[in-house]
Structure 1
Amino acid sequence: MIFINICFGLITPGRMRGDWDRLSVLQLDWAFDDAFSCAVMSLRIPSLTKEALLFSSALFFVSNFSFSQTILLPERWLFSTTDSLIYSKASFDDKEWNHIDVPSSWNYLGVAWYRTHFVINKNLSGDSVYLVLGMIDDADESYLNGVRIGGMGKFPPDSQTAYDKLRIYKIPKKLLRKDNVLAIRVYNMMGPGGLVYGPIGIFDDHDFNALFNPPPGPKKSFHQLVTSNGLVAAVYNEQRNEVQYALPHIFQAYDSSCAVKPFILRLAPSIDSKPVKTYYNHNTHVITADYRHLKVSYFAPFTIEKPVLIVAISGWEGDIKKVSFSFERGAAEVVSDSISFPSHPGRSIKYYIFSYSDSLHNGDEILQEVKKDIAVSKGFLLTNEISYMRGVFAKCHIPKTISRLERRVMEQSIAILKMAQVSESEVFPGSRGQILASLPPGGWNISWVRDGSYSILALNRLGLFQEARRFLSFMLKAKSNHYVHFIYTDGRDYGVGVPYQISVCRYFGLGKEESDFNQEGPNIELDGFGLYLIALSDYVNRSRDTMFLINNYQEISRKILDPIVHSIDSNGLIRKESGPWERHLPGKQFAYTSIVCAAGIRDFCALTSKLNLLDAEGYMEAYTKLLNGILENLVVNHKLIKGNVEAIDPEKHDYFDGGTFEAFALRLITEKDLFESHMRIYRKVLGVPGGIHGFSRINNGDWYETAEWILLDLRGASALGNFGDRRDAMTLVKWVTDQASLNFGLIPELYNRKTSTYDGAVPMVGFGAGAYIIAISDLYSN
């Protein structure tokens, strides 16, 4: 099988819109691999912005074909920031050079050289052989065995970028030999720089065509699994048969100056054969690789709430004794130990324990405590872990009539929600309870208000009220209120204007409000206030935990409700802000924001009135004003809801916005004629070609915006179900289910518009697992 590499910046300034100065503070000094998806092959992608390209975690795909004629290049290359054409020669002595993982970025302006040595022990068939190097930022000259075989962009003094070109160079016949040297000269004008991401390898005709032209329909296109217990997270790659990295915390950054870095890299067993099968054991957090005579399971344990990665090997004792593990140290001191137990005559299970030591963790003490816990379990830790998560499933409200595949994806989605919540045993108290937008390897392992609200709604439907309450509490306690005022370059104050509690964007790992910046200022998003009220009201209604509301009522009304009321403009809509798709400043009057804020006020007032907690009259006036503002300013000719007030021309960017589905999914608008007309028109404009496929985000956007958004597929399904169109709703759900069932039960951020392969961050939590659970629950309850 082909293995595709990718580098994704550890701290991204925002979803596809970058700020290079801020990124440089948190730039990676390590890199990891990612199997990922892509559009059909194109040598030029002119529509993409540099920010979009360099922060994409998914521009190319890996199909489920067997790539027998693919040469996998090494992950670790040699690297130098000096410049001399002698470096292109195969005979050059480079043994003193530094190392760099490829692909990755090096955050250096100027010229640098990459070199790698590789051996070919097989013949490539076909008339043509191709070197594919992915995307290089900005210009390159590529040499194989001392011969220049290609280059794109220009070097100084007439420098010219080619960051948006996929490097594909045809290798001259007979140039390849058994021992080879590939040397690449790279010039970076701005931004991260280097061999930043994309497919990297040597392909014959057959494999080249298979890579860039996958078959239609559901397909396997993702090859990584993550395990987490809310304390540590580890990513396993089924193609390299290794744990690519393990993180000491599941969130992406402590604060604005310090990123979370792996404590261990490339953890691999010394087993010559490849696994026959790799999977999530019983849809839990336990990753299991089946070899012919052994089973190897990887997991971060919930039953032992410690920052450790466990590897359990079960099989014949003689086979187990032959296995050892190799790994590379990351940013902390790695500590490890093992303990064995007999299982059946001649068979045993051996647990390898990996942890770390830093200023807050004594790794040796952790190891001893974990060994005692495993001993107490009498060697049944692996069984206990699977039983723990299966016990969680048993407590959940899962519709009894769902299909076998739906149940599998539903259970895996529950496991993802559990893995994505920071543990109560986390060493940083302010971190506890937050739920991430994605788990690694997805690049959004950050706590977003928007994504998190869908996670809470999913937890409520499942009956996992303790988990929902923990995240609701986290947001009420997190340090925020940093954007009461913000003067933009136009002299206007785009701050919230009054004291507030819910972040205007997202949270750092330590529990502090964060808003990402670019050249257009920060993201100041006001939809989070409404979304929090929706999630909170749903929680109290389902859990009957009225004391949570009573105890926090003053804070909620003053710092969540009042900011919404304060933000209503004279036209009855929420004023200009950054919106759900993070447009920075000055922003627009987005439909999504007014929709969720109106629904939030409605739900909260209904709840508090029922409990006699609030004279709702004043707030209900705000709800009525928002609803009328939507009907008067955003509903066009009683046929559709447009994406924002400023949109005039249907042919222009973001006139159509899939976020408008929430008006119907949340039952804010219940008029069936408008709904049917809206969905019919949106299907024509935002519908992804292919019949069963769903919706893109907006019209006339870049590749990211016009990819298929699984959140919109699933929220569209909930809306369709609300209006009695169960057939179309189930078609969308089945499409997502069939895709996930071929990809470990994981749900991505996107499907590539042309190939339907996994794109964006994987696995998504609120926008993926959460939205799926909501859709299944809604459709089967309806």
Structure 2
Amino acid sequence: MKLRTLSLVLCTVVTLSAQTYHLPVSWKFTTSDSAVFRQSEYRDAHWDVIAVPGAWETQGHADYDGYAWYRVDFTVPAKALREELQLLLGRIDDVDATYLNGTLVGSMGTFPPRDTSAWNIQRAYTIPKGVLRQRNTLAIRVYDGGAPGGIIGGLIGLFSKKAYMDALFLGPAPKRSYTKLTTTNGLIAAVYDDQTHRIETALPHIFQAYDSAASVRPFAYGIRPNTADVPRSVRYAENTHVIRVTYPRFTIEYFAPFVTGEKILYASVRGKERDIASINFNTSPGAGTLLTRTVERTGERIFLFSFIDSLHDNRAAVDAAVRRLSAQKESPAVQEVRWMRSVFARAVLPEGLTADERNTAEQSIAVLKMSQVGDREVFPLAKGQILASLPPGVWNIGWVRDGCYAIMALARIGLYDEAKKGLQFMLNAESNHYRNFIHTDGKDHGIGVDYQISVCRYFGTGKEESDFNAEGPNIEIDGFGLFLSALVQYAEASGDTAFVRSVWYTVSERIAEPIIHSIAENDLIRRESGPWERHLPGEQYAFTSAACAAGLQDLAALGARMGYATGRYAAASERLRSGITGRLTDGDGAVIGRIGAPRDHKEYYDGGTFEVFASRTVDDRSRFLRHMAAYEKVLRVPDPQRGYIRIKSPDWYESQEWIFLDTRIATAYLHHGMKKEARHLLDWITAQARFNYHLIPEMYGYAHATYEGAIPMVGFGAGTYLLALTDLYR
């Protein structure tokens, strides 16, 4: 067996067709601001290197808001100068002014002092005649007013008009509108782009940040084979975590290995010797020191990508992998597919699933597995954590709410070890930082007693995070109730009441009691940030009271069967239920989003209220039908095949179709015997997933039903889909 080192290069333009030219992954970046930066002649060698797309907060500029510049040099073939091309620059958060060879070609949003954001708009600028050259410099001035900043995602490159229309997926749905596949083993992650045919980024952890000042940075960018061939197909191999890219003469499979649990990205190239002998990979190194090795076997060349940084020295692991691969006969890609298929075999899925439902269910299981931090993670408290999305989705963060729905799904389908690890993570994580918190209004908005579950989410290291911004922290209480329901569903499905006994004191005193402490005089959970994370001082939200009522009722029932005195929890649950039916229900029978919202306020009709019925906090068919009748008029997308928006709001993010809501409404329908209505929603989600690698997104675009938001979504996507699907068939 021969061992070789991979070549490391910074790519210029990759030409995919006569009509599409993609730009490099690595750009130059600075947080300085000067008009001279637009000039082609300006020398930027001293600037930072940044990956595009990707928020700058995750690449060494945490918490930075303000001005920044991007620059990149690229070349195009002479024939491109004769074409009419659009310059696509993805979504830029918040404002941009874009210069090609010193000429302003487009701008969106407005810069301070009266800044307005265009953060969610795909940039597409017509290149004026005579501006494009064979050698070019692109310079972009960006302003970010808060939250993620920079070129955060979307299509990037030079496109003909037809290629532009095709690439934006503007046809009727269900349809393909997503082009990225993620592989992880709970330790590292890599994202493949089906349009540029390369691994965009390879990350040393699956989570987003170590703490508020330190984001996880890729260890490699732009991993691409040195072939002019274009893939015939790209898919997950048998619904697993293995990304299979089939070329005319060979196949490449990318994966992070579960079998060996290494922080190594594999690229297995298989084919005839004459077809694969010259295959190599071009790569741009990221943070730390990039490690690369190649193992040559009969009919297979295996490329390994790893790293050294302040937390890892993977040289010994890479050497061990080389020795193992040199000795074994079976392809590691085959072993990985078999390993994930064994997970599917452990899972209990309903009989009678359609082929598309089974494929989407299996891919959802793979997503759940990929989203859980593995046992070999270097941070002990991180193990078992379940992320809200996988990268490139921006929510690869451990949210309590999303994690609980993922745990419920894992317990439902019989993956008890994974569910238990998710529960143990939250029970062991560092929290209680917001027992007391004096806000700018002079009031203490803290929990008020000792508590265990984070008030919002977790840093990747297993420490509580509140998503703090200029308005203060998010202090959310719904996660306490959701955790109780997840714990009870795990115990009832697995029979593991011994685990519940071992943690009963913590669960009762630091989760259930804080809920009771938070019940206000009007029999609702007091003002807090709610499911949609309205920073302090917050409001009294229906979703929070419903989640807490359900959790207390679940704990009361289980605890009573185990011999504990739980009447206090049952009584508190009933108080919350009566508060919802008595104070949050209007004259039409609709549950409103929060106390005090006028009928014309966007939070009056809030999609979060469906949890009242999905959780069976209110288990009354007539009430549910009145609620649905009111909400159909306001939140239903007009297309009859589609589902529901979150809130009727001018805000783009809030007014898209949310898959979490579609799945929870389907579950509520099923609780009330309305199988036809539930199937309609689930068939829509399944049909969309069929065209998009069987992945489930955060949202569908309101206008064109394109995949939007964080993708793939975990608890709010794969998790609630599995819950609704199993409800449909049982």
Structure 2 letter corresponding to 1:69? Q
Structure 1 letter corresponding to 2:134? D
Q: Tell me what 2:690 maps to.
A: 741
Cα deviation digits, residues 302-322 of structure 1 (max 9, x gap): 110111111111111122211
Match of 1:119 among 67, 73, 76: 76
With over 3 angstroms needed to count, the CA separation of the structure-2 counterparts of 1:297 and 1:643, relative to structure 1, is same
SS in 1 for 2:254: strand
Are 1:179 and 2:128 matched, yes or no?
Answer: no
On the 8 A contact 1:409/1:741 being kept in 2, the answer is yes
Q: Tell me what 2:504 maps to.
A: 553
CA distance, structure 2, for counterparts of residue 394 and residue 138 of structure 1:
46
Are 1:266 and 2:222 matched, yes or no?
Answer: yes
With over 3 angstroms needed to count, the CA separation of the structure-2 counterparts of 1:102 and 1:708, relative to structure 1, is same
SS in 1 for 2:503: helix
On the 8 A contact 1:599/1:666 being kept in 2, the answer is yes
With 176-185 and 587-596 compared, the bigger mean Cα shift is at: 176-185
Q: Tell me what 2:627 maps to.
A: 678
Q: Tell me what 2:660 maps to.
A: 711
Structure 1 letter corresponding to 2:238? H
Cα deviation digits, residues 5-62 of structure 1 (max 9, x gap): xxxxxxxxxxxxxxxxxxxxxxxxxx99xxxxxxxxxxxxxxxxxxxxxxxxxxxxxx
What does 1:228-627 correspond to in 2, within 5 Å?
228-342=184-298, 348-375=299-326, 377-612=328-563, 614-627=564-577
Unaligned runs of 5+ in 1: 1-30, 33-65, 343-347
Q: Tell me what 2:613 maps to.
A: 664
Cα deviation digits, residues 504-562 of structure 1 (max 9, x gap): 11111111111111222100000011001100011111100010011111111100110
SS in 2 for 1:703: coil
With over 3 angstroms needed to count, the CA separation of the structure-2 counterparts of 1:624 and 1:691, relative to structure 1, is same
With over 3 angstroms needed to count, the CA separation of the structure-2 counterparts of 1:485 and 1:675, relative to structure 1, is same
On the 8 A contact 1:74/1:118 being kept in 2, the answer is no
The alignment's TM-score, normalised by the length of structure 1, stands at 0.85
CA distance, structure 1, for counterparts of residue 44 and residue 454 of structure 2:
50
Are 1:164 and 2:118 matched, yes or no?
Answer: yes
Residue 293 of structure 1 and its aligned partner are, at CA, apart by 1.2
CA distance, structure 1, for counterparts of residue 549 and residue 245 of structure 2:
49
Residue 102 of structure 1 and its aligned partner are, at CA, apart by 4.3
CA distance, structure 2, for counterparts of residue 255 and residue 282 of structure 1:
36
Are 1:631 and 2:581 matched, yes or no?
Answer: yes
On the 8 A contact 2:29/2:68 being kept in 1, the answer is no
SS in 2 for 1:644: coil
CA distance, structure 1, for counterparts of residue 35 and residue 571 of structure 2:
72
With 212-221 and 196-205 compared, the bigger mean Cα shift is at: 196-205
Residue 427 of structure 1 and its aligned partner are, at CA, apart by 1.9
Residue 379 of structure 1 and its aligned partner are, at CA, apart by 3.0
CA distance, structure 2, for counterparts of residue 81 and residue 484 of structure 1:
37
The alignment's TM-score, normalised by the length of structure 2, stands at 0.91
With over 3 angstroms needed to count, the CA separation of the structure-2 counterparts of 1:202 and 1:338, relative to structure 1, is closer
With 584-593 and 309-318 compared, the bigger mean Cα shift is at: 309-318
With over 3 angstroms needed to count, the CA separation of the structure-2 counterparts of 1:746 and 1:609, relative to structure 1, is same
With over 3 angstroms needed to count, the CA separation of the structure-2 counterparts of 1:150 and 1:701, relative to structure 1, is closer
SS in 2 for 1:334: strand
Structure 2 letter corresponding to 1:706? S
Structure 2 letter corresponding to 1:615? A
With over 3 angstroms needed to count, the CA separation of the structure-2 counterparts of 1:336 and 1:405, relative to structure 1, is same
Cα deviation digits, residues 669-715 of structure 1 (max 9, x gap): 12111111211221211111211111111222511011000000001
Higher relative contact order (CA 8 A, sep 6+): 1
With over 3 angstroms needed to count, the CA separation of the structure-2 counterparts of 1:571 and 1:255, relative to structure 1, is same
Match of 2:709 among 760, 766, 779: 760
SS in 1 for 2:227: coil
Q: Tell me what 2:7 maps to.
A: none
CA distance, structure 2, for counterparts of residue 336 and residue 599 of structure 1:
51
Q: Tell me what 1:26 maps to.
A: none
Match of 1:645 among 595, 608, 611: 595
Cα deviation digits, residues 432-464 of structure 1 (max 9, x gap): 111111111111111111000100110011100
Q: Tell me what 2:673 maps to.
A: 724
CA distance, structure 2, for counterparts of residue 663 and residue 81 of structure 1:
46
With over 3 angstroms needed to count, the CA separation of the structure-2 counterparts of 1:108 and 1:459, relative to structure 1, is closer
With over 3 angstroms needed to count, the CA separation of the structure-2 counterparts of 1:221 and 1:151, relative to structure 1, is closer
On the 8 A contact 1:505/1:513 being kept in 2, the answer is yes
Residue 197 of structure 1 and its aligned partner are, at CA, apart by 5.3
Matched length: 706
CA RMSD of aligned residues (A): 2.7
CA distance, structure 1, for counterparts of residue 474 and residue 110 of structure 2:
35
Residue 131 of structure 1 and its aligned partner are, at CA, apart by 3.8
Residue 270 of structure 1 and its aligned partner are, at CA, apart by 1.4
CA distance, structure 1, for counterparts of residue 338 and residue 42 of structure 2:
55
CA distance, structure 2, for counterparts of residue 352 and residue 486 of structure 1:
51
CA distance, structure 2, for counterparts of residue 498 and residue 541 of structure 1:
29
What does 1:125-204 correspond to in 2, within 5 Å?
129-133=85-89, 142-145=98-101, 147-150=103-106, 161=115, 163-164=117-118, 168-173=124-129, 175-176=130-131, 178-184=133-139, 186=141, 188=143, 190-191=145-146, 199-204=155-160
CA distance, structure 1, for counterparts of residue 180 and residue 108 of structure 2:
31
Where has structure 1 moved over 6 Å in runs of 4 or more? 80-87, 152-155
On the 8 A contact 1:133/1:168 being kept in 2, the answer is yes
Q: Tell me what 2:5 maps to.
A: none
On the 8 A contact 2:169/2:706 being kept in 1, the answer is no
With over 3 angstroms needed to count, the CA separation of the structure-2 counterparts of 1:403 and 1:124, relative to structure 1, is farther
Unaligned runs of 5+ in 2: 1-9
